[in-house]
Amino acid sequence: MTHLTTPPNSLLTIDARFNGPARSGHGGVSGGRFAALVDARRAIVDFLAPIPLDEPLSGTRQGEAAHVDGPDGPVAAVTRLAGPLPTGPFGRLAAGEVARAEASWLDARDGDHVAPTCFACGHRRTDDSGLGLRPGPVAGLAL
């Protein structure tokens, strides 16, 4: 398996199509890119400012840590963990459960989404360039 790696001192750019909020990078995509400065499989990324889109970002590794700077200052701090984060199994959901979760989430917000064009979960992204994920509570799961 190939894992994302980034040279210790790198220029990074988060393409505008990978937005979370309208003018900021998606946390998962950006965090993955930043984590690769130390080890994409075992890192914690602390976001310090909104992530600029289509702007050069400077990623600098220093030992087991790294920082990412944008045109206006610090964007993120990255720390390498001793080992991978533990994860457990997560079963597949039936289509009906997914539809109920999405409807419940949007209904609770009066159809309003904090980031309607988000790369991962934006419900107003119509060009199929996003992931099309739909967040929401699932009955019987405490997440």
First and final C-alpha spacing in the chain: 29
- Report pTM: 0.78
How far apart CA 117 and CA 95 sit, in angstroms, is 23
- Mind listing the pLDDT tens digit for each residue in 19-49? 998 899 999 999 999 999 998 888 999 999 9
Question: pLDDT digits over 108-120, tens only?
Answer: 665 666 787 888 8
Spell out the domain ranges in the chain.
9-80, 94-138
CA–CA dist 78, 84 (Å, integer): 14
Q: Which CATH class is domain 9-80?
A: alpha beta
